[in-house]
Structure 1
Amino acid sequence: MKILAGDIGGTKTTLAVVETDGQTVEQLVAHTYPSQQHTSLQEIVRLFLDTYSFDFMACSFGLAGPIHDGIGTLTNLPWKIDPVQMAEDLGIPGIWLLNDLEANAWGIQTLGEQDLCVLNPGKENAQGNRSIISAGTGLGEAGLFWDGERHQPFASEGGHSNFSPTSDIEIALLQYLQQRHQPVSWERIVSGAGLSNIHEFLCHYHNQESPPWLHEAMQQGDPAAVISRAAIEKTCLLCTEALALFVRLYGVEAGNHALKIMATGGVYIGGGIAPKILEQLQQGSFLRAFFAKDGMESLMHDMPVTVILNEDTALYGAALYAVSRMKNP
């Protein structure tokens, strides 16, 4: 069956018509829109429908934010989405909403070996709950409950829980950010904006200024991308230190989330940032931070840890969610 699926984020919105049998997904047509250049999701969907003519049986959108009482709210955009009203206004079949990390969790089953990179193989034939954590525009977290037969995805807003420092420099980072944000969530640290926050803090901490070329590049483009590129190319020591601290803290929070939901079946690192810094994630500091849990190191070592490389995972997951809802309304 054909489904109109969407991955709706603070930076970009991707819509696609896909063909799915409830297990596999084939993308027929897709288009990505800069989210902040539009006033609503409805405006984007209308543009898509005006461009591409496909009949579809249902719509399903994964949103970077919570769904409450059937209404979706974008964390980093002033959008509120009423699926019933939106479907009526656009004259399309009913719309289902789910959190974008929940959509990622649904989409994991569509992935092949080429879509994944294993950081820690973990225990052979590991079973149990799974976790997924994704740093991008924000920090998303979700889980998959193992019911004994299959994994059941569920949403969370754990990325907004309070940041917990464990070293002197992390305490200094917290105190620096507390001057601007109360409270300081993990999303302020482990996200695109978080990498920029860490870099800015380190400039203050070391009483150094960014070189003019870096400052200019950050003004002209995505600051986090500029910082990570300078770190990877080793053209700025402060950027290298910023990315190293970011990677370590990403590992800390990935481990926190995995431990809280007993993700013995595996941990997935999603989002747009991880594939771009894959080499840094493979160098060891991420896993050392992930494993370092008081008295639980052995348990953490047994958890498989895998990076998701396919950026369409949430899109495919939204489609599978629609099929599930149609079968079990």
Structure 2
Amino acid sequence: MSSGTGVLAGDVGGTKTLLALYAVRGHNLQLLREARYASADFDGLADMLVNFLAGEPVAAAGFGVAGPVAGGRCQATNLPWLLDEGELSAVLGGVPVKLLNDLEAVALGLLQVPDGAFVCLNAGRAMEGNIAVLAAGTGLGEAILHRHDGNYSAIACEGGHCDFAPADALQDGLLLFLRERCGGHVSYERILSGSGLHLVYQYLLTRNPELPDVLQGLDGSGEDPAALIAQRGLEQDDAACRLALRLFARIYGQEAGNLALKCLARGGVLLAGGIAPKLLPVLSDGSFMAGFCDKGRFADLLRDMPVRVCLEPQAPLLGAATAAARLA
């Protein structure tokens, strides 16, 4: 058994993996050191851990992974890695190890983030209760923070893969467009992601052929289409990009409202992930909250729910470290 006192945390992604070592100070976590690795450079997580720790012992470890976790095992969604708690424990000297769905880790981490790292989209009425968590980035992750006896536990889910439900005629057309492009099933993740923003933009060009295509000639340049659409839309210098951002924000609000109703999120809604901080101006202009509250007879219930955006990129690591600290 290891004699280490720190806890090891990891945020395992298809492109990059972040590892960090934390000291546990009561209920607080103190970052000691961290490193970023290109996931494709390693055959598995075990080799990466050996490189990072270089023989330093730890008391416990937690890892957030994009993919469903069952029985202490997880097949990473965007990596050829099968992660196993027992095997990782052996690599770390027999210490306890916890694998978490990536959004489960994000949700736990948000509880550690100070209030100053959030931006308010809707003040609502702060109450004790469940919290809905959504994170749009490469995909759309969702989780629930369930409140019971004064404490929160994180519940992982795959709600981003639920069926997209159009709310008006414009979105009806988007569904038909995506059904043809995607070959059938259209989930919210097909829209609320980086690649989804690109698809929304392409759809709007088919409806407005008189508008110029800012992506023309971009193929092969290596530039991210979604990043360019966001940049031009936020700069207010391209009509199609502005329309795409507003439609994206409204649908993001609709799905956030869906999750908030399903878990009765009286404790509020938290947006994490890489997209929300970059699109704060459009999320704050009313489009998001219009979609969020568009729930018929339950509109007033949604208006009472606080909605905030997390600006802290370390939330996934903090959540994995929190899970590890509970084992140490």
**TM-score with structure 1 length normalisation?**
0.90
Q: Distance in 1 between matches of 2:279 and 2:115?
A: 19
- State how 1:75-94 maps to structure 2 within 5 Å: 75-89=77-91, 93-94=95-96
Change (3 A) 1:192 1:162: same
- Asked if the contact 2:60/2:327 (under 8 Å) is kept, the reply is no
Change (3 A) 1:262 1:14: same
1:236 alignment partner in structure 2: 238
Q: Distance in 2 between matches of 1:171 and 1:319?
A: 43
Q: Distance in 2 between matches of 1:117 and 1:166?
A: 27
- State how 1:64-75 maps to structure 2 within 5 Å: 64-75=66-77
1:260-313 CA distance string (max 9 Å, x none):
000001110111111111111111110111111121111111111111110101
* Deviation, structure 1 residue 31: 1.5
**Structure 1 residue 10 and structure 2 residue 14: aligned?**
yes
1:211 alignment partner in structure 2: 214
2:191 alignment partner in structure 1: 189
The number of aligned residues is: 322
- Asked if the contact 2:19/2:52 (under 8 Å) is kept, the reply is yes
CA RMSD of aligned residues (A): 2.1
2:127 alignment partner in structure 1: 126
SS of the residue aligned with 1:325? coil
- Asked if the contact 1:23/1:110 (under 8 Å) is kept, the reply is no
Q: Distance in 2 between matches of 1:228 and 1:77?
A: 28
* Deviation, structure 1 residue 91: 5.0
- Asked if the contact 2:191/2:199 (under 8 Å) is kept, the reply is yes
1:44 alignment partner in structure 2: 48
SS of the residue aligned with 2:111? helix
SS of the residue aligned with 2:253? helix
Change (3 A) 1:37 1:262: same
Q: Distance in 2 between matches of 1:6 and 1:294?
A: 41
* Deviation, structure 1 residue 133: 0.5
Q: Distance in 1 between matches of 2:13 and 2:57?
A: 25
Q: Distance in 1 between matches of 2:156 and 2:147?
A: 14
Where does the alignment leave 5 or more consecutive residues of structure 1 unmatched?
A: none
- State how 1:1-329 maps to structure 2 within 5 Å: 1-21=5-25, 23-36=27-40, 38-50=42-54, 54-89=56-91, 93-123=95-125, 125-179=126-180, 180-207=182-209, 210-211=213-214, 215-216=217-218, 219-326=221-328
1:247-272 CA distance string (max 9 Å, x none):
11111101100110000011101111
Comparing 240-249 and 40-49, the one that deviates more: 40-49
Where does the alignment leave 5 or more consecutive residues of structure 2 unmatched?
A: none
SS of the residue aligned with 1:296? helix
- Asked if the contact 1:20/1:319 (under 8 Å) is kept, the reply is no
1:128-166 CA distance string (max 9 Å, x none):
111110101111110111113212211111111111111
Q: Distance in 2 between matches of 1:8 and 1:289?
A: 32
- Asked if the contact 2:58/2:92 (under 8 Å) is kept, the reply is no
- Asked if the contact 1:60/1:95 (under 8 Å) is kept, the reply is yes
Q: Distance in 1 between matches of 2:92 and 2:23?
A: 21
1:226-263 CA distance string (max 9 Å, x none):
22112112343222211111111111101100110000
* Deviation, structure 1 residue 9: 2.4
Q: Distance in 2 between matches of 1:78 and 1:170?
A: 36
SS of the residue aligned with 2:57? coil
Change (3 A) 1:42 1:137: farther
Letter in 1 for 2:20: A
- Asked if the contact 1:23/1:320 (under 8 Å) is kept, the reply is no
Comparing 248-257 and 168-177, the one that deviates more: 168-177
Change (3 A) 1:161 1:219: farther
- Asked if the contact 1:17/1:54 (under 8 Å) is kept, the reply is no
**TM-score with structure 2 length normalisation?**
0.91
Letter in 1 for 2:266: T
Change (3 A) 1:219 1:45: farther
SS of the residue aligned with 2:184? coil
* Deviation, structure 1 residue 104: 1.4
Identity %: 39
